Amino acid sequence: MLVENVLIVDPVDGEYVGTVEFEDVILEIRKSDKSSFEHILMPAFVDPHIHGIKGIDTMTASQEDFERFKEYEALEGVWYFQPTTVTCPLDELRKIKIPSELKLHIEGPFIAPKRKGAHSESYIQSPPRDVHELEQYLSLSSIGTITVAPEYDSFLDFAKSCELNNIRISIGHTDATFAQAKRAFENGFRRITHFPNALSPLHHRELGVTGAGLLLDFTLEIIADGIHCAPEFVNLVYKVKEAEKIILVTDSISATGLEDGNYMLGDLRVKVENGIAKLSDGTLAGSTLKFSQAVKNFAKFTGCSLKELAMVSSYNACKDLNLNGGRIKEGYPAKLVLLDNELNIKKVWNF
Amino acid sequence: MLVENVLIVDPVDGEYVGTVEFEDVILEIRKSDKSSFEHILMPAFVDPHIHGIKGIDTMTASQEDFERFKEYEALEGVWYFQPTTVTCPLDELRKIKIPSELKLHIEGPFIAPKRKGAHSESYIQSPPRDVHELEQYLSLSSIGTITVAPEYDSFLDFAKSCELNNIRISIGHTDATFAQAKRAFENGFRRITHFPNALSPLHHRELGVTGAGLLLDFTLEIIADGIHCAPEFVNLVYKVKEAEKIILVTDSISATGLEDGNYMLGDLRVKVENGIAKLSDGTLAGSTLKFSQAVKNFAKFTGCSLKELAMVSSYNACKDLNLNGGRIKEGYPAKLVLLDNELNIKKVWNF
C-alpha cells in the first residue's frame, strides 16, 4: 500500500509531507520536498473508555455484537478500544463474551457512592484486597483497566495486585481528598477516569481529586463533547497539563449514532435529548460522542497542533495501555487514518 | 551606602553575587567573582491590598496613624502599600486622611452581594457610570485601585472612566460568569483581587471568575497565608500562571501583630483565634498575615526561585501600579531589603 504526498503526523517526529509505504506494518517513509498536501495521515485512534455504540452495549453484547462494535469503531478511525462495563453485580461480568484481542475497562463496582454518576448505587462495594476475588468472575487476561476510588482502605493492596497482573488502575468516581489522591499518585497510580466528571471538586482550601489531577503529574481521560465539561475547561486542562498528559475518550453509550429516545445503560433508564444522555434526575449518563468528533472538538477547543492531536487521540493511550501503536514510523503496525483538512475521516487502515 | 558581597536578586537580570552602592538611587553595581554570600538583597516589597496592622485601620486612621502604618510596613520590608478601605457609606471615605504619597485601594462598595465576604451588604451598590460620582467623596488623586464586580451593567463605563483617571481596576468580590469575566478581560481589565477568594468558583461547565483567572492572562492577587487558600492551591496557581502574573498581598487587618481577640473591620465584628480572623458566621475577614511571612510562605508553597520571588513580592506590583521600583539596577530608587538565607529581614532601605 502506498499513500503519497500526505501530511504525516507523528506524535514524536512531528508533521511533514511525505509518502508512506506499508502492509500490516509500516515499511518505508519518504519525506517529500513539497509543502503542499491534500490529506493528513495520523496514527489511528484509541478509545480506552467506551460503553457502546449504535445499539450495542458492552454489558449485553453478543460475540456478533462485538464484531459490529469493532467495525463501527473502525469507521470512527479507532483501531483499538476498551469496551467498558458499568457497576453491576459481579456475576453479570461473567456473562460478557469479549473477543480475545480486546480487553475490558471495568468502571465500578469499586467506586464511591457519593460520586456514582450514572452507576447503580446498590452494587457499589469496596475493592477486595486482592484482584483474585475479581478473577472468580472474570479472567484477569480480559481486563485492561479498572476504575477505582482510592479512598477505600483496601485501595492500595488491590491496586498493587492489579498492577502485578498487568491491569491498569484508573482513579475515578471518587470523593477522595487531595491527600488521598496524592497518596495514590505517590504509590504509582497516575491515571484519572473522565476528568473532572464524578470527582471531588476543586476547592481552594481542599483541592480534591480535581485539584490533584491538575497539580500532580496525573494522566487524564477527557470527554471532549463540550457537555461533560465546557470547551474552556478542556482548554484549561490542555494549558495546565499539556497534551502529553491527556487521553481522549468518548464514554459513549449504545444510543450513540442512533436517534434521541429512551435507552438503558446497565439497568438504569437513560433519556437522550439533543444527543445528551441523562438519568431522570438530570445526571449525565455517558455520552453520544463519536471519536472522530472528539478529535475535532479537542482541536477546536484548544487550538492544539496536529502533533499534539496525535498524542491525545492515540499515542498517549498506547503508552498508557502498553500497546504497540500510536506512531507513524517504520516498523510500527500500520494502524492509520487519513483525514481531510477539516479532520473528516477519508479512510482507515487497521489491519 | 555600600552593601558588599550579597546575593543580588533582580526580577529581570536574575541572581548574582555583587556589591551595590547607593544613596537614594542605586549608583553602581559591581558583580563579584565570588559565589559565596551571607545575605540576600532584594527589591523592597509592595503590598497593594492591606487594611491595617497593629491596631491601625485604614477606615479610622489619623494622620499620625498613617505615619506609624508606614513604619510598621518598613519593618516588613514593604516600601509602598495601598491602604485599603471596606464597603461603607461613601460619606465615610471622605474622612480618610491619607498622606499624599500613598493611594487608597477602594474595596467595595461596587461589589456583588453574593460574594460580599467580610463587607457590609447594606452599603453595596452598583458602580456609577462615571468615576466623578466617586469624586464627590474622595479626590481621584488619592485613589490607586478600585475592586469592582464586573457583572454590573455600568461596569465597563465606570472602569473605562477610572482608567482615564489613572485608577487601576481590579475585579473582585464577584459572582460573574466566565463570559462576563472574559468581557472585562477583553476590554483591558486584567487584574483580580485576592484570587480565588470571594470569586464565583470554578465549575467544569461554568468556569466562573476563578476559571477565567486561571485560563486567561489575568494578573492575580494572592493571600499566601495558607488559610485563604491551601498551600497546594497557591502552588497550582504558580504552576498555571507562572510568577509573572502573581502579586502577593496580605489583606491584613488591624489585629495583625496583636494578640487574638475581638476587633472591628469597618463596622463588622471580627474574632481572631490562632491568628485567623473571622466574622461570627465563620466567614474569613481579612488576614493577620505580615508581608515578610507571605514572602516566606510563597517560597515554601511553590519552591520558586528568588528571582520569581522578587517578581511576586515587588516587581509585578510596581508594573501593575506604574511605580518606579521593583528592580536592583543602576538608576532605580534604592528601595531595598536585606534578608538572611531563611528570608528573615535583616535591614530595610526605603529612602
Residues A16-50 pLDDT 10s: 999 999 999 999 999 998 889 999 999 999 999 99
Q: Are B29 and B330 in contact (CB under 8 A)?
A: yes
Q: What would the grid cell of residue B136 be?
A: 464627590
Let me know whether B240 and B172 are in one domain. Answer: yes
Verify that B148 and B6 share a domain, yes or no: no
Give the confidence band of A218 by pLDDT, cuts at 50, 70, 90: very high
Measured between CA atoms, the residue of chain A closest to residue B200 is A203
Provide the pLDDT confidence category of residue B266 given band limits of 50, 70 and 90.
confident
Give contacts of B240 with chain A, Cβ < 8 Å. 214, 239-240
Which pLDDT belongs to residue B34?
Answer: 87
Instruction: Assess whether B251 carries a catalytic annotation.
Output: yes
Q: For residues B131 and B169, state if they share a domain.
A: yes
Residue B299 labelled as part of a binding site: no
Residue B230 labeled ligand binder? no
> CATH number, domain at B133?
3.20.20.140
Q: Are residues B61 and B176 in the same domain?
A: yes
pLDDT digits (tens, 9 = 90+) for B24-46: 999 999 999 888 999 999 999 99
Using a CB–CB cut-off of 8 Å, the residues of A that contact B are: 178, 196-197, 201-207, 210-211, 214-215, 228-230, 232-233, 235-236, 239-240
What number of CA atoms fall less than 13 Å from residue A59's CA on the CB side? 19
* A240 & A347 share domain: no
| Whether residue A166 is found in the same domain as residue A301 | yes
Identify whether residues A5 and A146 lie together within a single domain: no
Mutate to test the interface with B, among A232, A239, A301 (most CBs of B within 10 A): A232
Which CATH number belongs to the domain containing residue B1 in this structure? 2.30.40.10
Q: Which residues of B touch A196 (CB under 8 A)?
A: 204
Are the beta carbons of A287 and A248 closer than 8 angstroms?
Answer: no
Residue of A nearest to B241 (CA): A240
Q: Which residues lie below 8 Å from residue B1, measured CB to CB, with a gap of 6+?
A: B21, B22, B23, B334, B349
Q: In this complex, do B178 and A230 lie within 8 Å of one another by their Cβ atoms?
A: yes
Counting residues of chain A whose pLDDT is more than 90, the rounded percentage is 98
Average pLDDT, chain B: 97
Contacts of B239 in chain A (CB under 8 A): 215, 240
Distances (CA, A) of B165 to B7, B106, B149, B156, B158: 39, 15, 19, 14, 11
Other Cβ atoms within 10 Å of A94 Cβ, number: 11
Say if residue B351's pLDDT is above 80. Answer: no
Report CA dihedral (B126, B129, B132, B137) to the nearest 10 degrees.
-10
Residue B328 has pLDDT above 90, yes or no: yes
State the Cα–Cα distance between residues B29 and B13, nearest whole angstrom: 12
pLDDT above 90 covers what percent of chain B?
98
Which pLDDT does position A153 carry in this prediction? 97
- Residues B89 and B13 both lie in one domain: no
Domains identified in chain A, total number? 2
The verdict on B213 and B133 lying in the same domain is yes
Indicate whether B105 and B82 sit together in one domain: yes
B215: nearest CB among A178, A205, A235 = A235
Regarding whether A74 and A21 lie in a shared domain, the answer is no
Buried b (16+ CB within 10 A) or exposed e, A280-298: eeeebbbbbbbbbbbbbbb
A237 to chain B: closest CA residue:
B215
A204 contacts in chain B (CB < 8 Å): 196-197, 210, 228-230, 233
The partner residue sitting opposite A207, judged by closest CB among B207, B214, B230, is: B230
* Domain hosting residue B116, numbered range: 45-323
Chain B CA closest to residue A206: B230
